[in-house]
Amino acid sequence: MNRTTRIFAAILSLVMLLGLAACGNSAPAAASPADASAASVPSGVEDGVLTVAMECAYAPYNWAQSDDSNGAVPIKGTNMFANGYDVMTAKQICEANGWQLEIVQLEWDSLIPAVMAGTVDAVIAGQSMTSERMESVDFAGPYLYASIVCLTLQNSPFASAQGKSDLSGGTATSQSGTIWYDSCLPQIEGANIATAAADAPSMLMALESGTVDFVCTDMPTAQGALIVYPDMVILDFAGSGDDFEVSEEEVNIGISVAKGNTVLLDAMNAVLSTKTADDFNALMAQATAIQPIG
């Protein structure tokens, strides 16, 4: 082998050696922003406990009671217990995943901020799956489909209303931060819209006391109200051609979790996807039947 051949062989060997070294010691590909974001969001159930926030004042979705009857769950930091459709749903999800359930009581306007801050793992509180909320949280579900109705007193001149246009001239309210107040009531031409109520009980009390002529809510809340206030009547305009105009997202009720929490989202959807609308309605009927009166 002449000198030129030896030099060429040495160079070729060096190139091959460097190539093998590069293959063996190459750094892993950098994670995409989406992967990094997902990895940085804890599921919240690493400890085997699902912490769920709700008002505990929104029957038949959720309420507080003084004992653990009918499967009620302790409310963290209190001597009270939570029950209702939301609690029943949370229990089903926990049973399917082997988690313990912890209930935290928060005011309506504090629910989504608590999820965003990581104070709680999820909110199960009768929330509509609106695009506006989806800017802040992700939603599992739906876990219920809720139609929009009104409530008035049986002796009210509005008790015979056949459509929303028949409510013109009346004074109305609904719960703050809901599609009932923000989207539905403004659709009633000539209605006098009073200040929003802080929560569902306050909304119903405004009607019962005569402060307003009618309120706007969803069917489960209205059905639960009749148990407590039998002098009320439900105004359901479905099929009348003069009903409230709402999108699917506004009547689909979901469970909010932190943005990017795919582990919790997928685990919840795995349970909810096995349910039908009839299953949801049957469970809501159970909740309505056991809600406290007064």
> pLDDT digit of tens for each residue in the chain (294 aa)?
444 444 444 444 443 433 433 333 333 343 343 343 444 678 999 999 999 999 999 999 999 999 999 999 999 999 999 999 999 999 999 999 999 999 999 999 999 999 999 999 999 999 999 999 999 999 999 999 999 999 999 999 999 999 999 999 999 999 999 999 999 999 999 999 999 999 999 999 999 999 999 999 999 999 999 999 999 999 999 999 999 999 988 899 999 999 999 999 999 999 999 999 999 999 999 999 999 876
Per the listing, tokens 């629910």 go with 111
Domains of the chain, with CATH numbers? 40-146+250-290 (3.40.190.10), 148-237 (3.40.190.10)
Contact 160, 154 (CB under 8 A): no
Q: Are 180 and 130 in contact (CB under 8 A)?
A: no
